[in-house]
Amino acid sequence: MQYNIVLKDNREKAYKTFVWFLFFLHIVAAAFFALNTIDKNIRLGIYIVLGFYVLISGLYFILRKRKKAFETFSLTMALFYANFWLKHVGAIALFIFGAIFLFADVMQRRKSRLLFSEKGIKVTKAFKTVFHAWSEMQNVILKDGILTVDFKSNKIIQAEITEEAFVLNEKEFNSFCISQLEQTA
């Protein structure tokens, strides 16, 4: 028998802060380019881009309660950033921005998972996967949507599980864990 549990993401705030940091960094960079350029057409284009930044951020604040508002905002802004960097700095700056943005997006979308089986617990995080045998555990319990994994080494993993994992029968899961812990004791 196996139980696959996905933990709630607690990195969302950090991701949003990073996207806002990129947003304000681009506003400063665009303002810097606008102030230091001699060509009036380029300056006007940068002012138009700055206006779009302000308009889109205003729309976000109006619509931010909707389900996919932040994802739409960050993707739209990424397209504007990409255009800005390609047009005013070059392809290398566009590549660097794209790599940073994609890395942050991939990291934000990856979920921490725990796979419980007869062999042990496989913990999959953003950068690594670790396997722990049942003999390393002191206690494992799921109660009211909070999973607690207590190691014999005094290390503890405690986190909320996602709503999708709530379909899991807590009694069955806890019974499974107790039986696995008793077999290794």
What is the per-residue pLDDT for 131?
Answer: 92
C-alpha to C-alpha distance for 3 and 118, rounded to whole angstroms: 10
Confidence bin at 185 (pLDDT 50/70/90): low
**Containing domain of residue 57, as a range?**
12-109
Same domain flag for 39 and 124:
no
Which of 7-16, 95-104, 121-130 comes out lowest in average pLDDT? 7-16
Same domain flag for 21 and 98:
yes
Same domain flag for 25 and 103:
yes
Domain-embedded: residue 5: no
Same domain flag for 105 and 116:
no
Same domain flag for 86 and 18:
yes
Where does a domain end: 109, 125, 147? 109
User: How confident is the model over 28-83, as pLDDT tens digits?
Assistant: 877 777 777 788 787 787 777 778 777 877 777 777 777 777 777 777 777 777 87
Same domain flag for 32 and 91:
yes
Domain-embedded: residue 1: no
Same domain flag for 66 and 55:
yes
What is the per-residue pLDDT for 79?
Answer: 79
Same domain flag for 17 and 96:
yes
Domain-embedded: residue 134: yes
Domain-embedded: residue 135: yes
Number of domains in the chain: 2
Measured distance between the N- and C-terminal CA atoms of the chain, rounded to whole angstroms: 20
C-alpha to C-alpha distance for 97 and 115, rounded to whole angstroms: 35
Same domain flag for 51 and 120:
no
Same domain flag for 95 and 26:
yes
The pTM is what? 0.63
Where does a domain end: 51, 80, 109? 109
Tokens for 78, please give them.
């990424």
Res. 122: pLDDT tops 90: yes
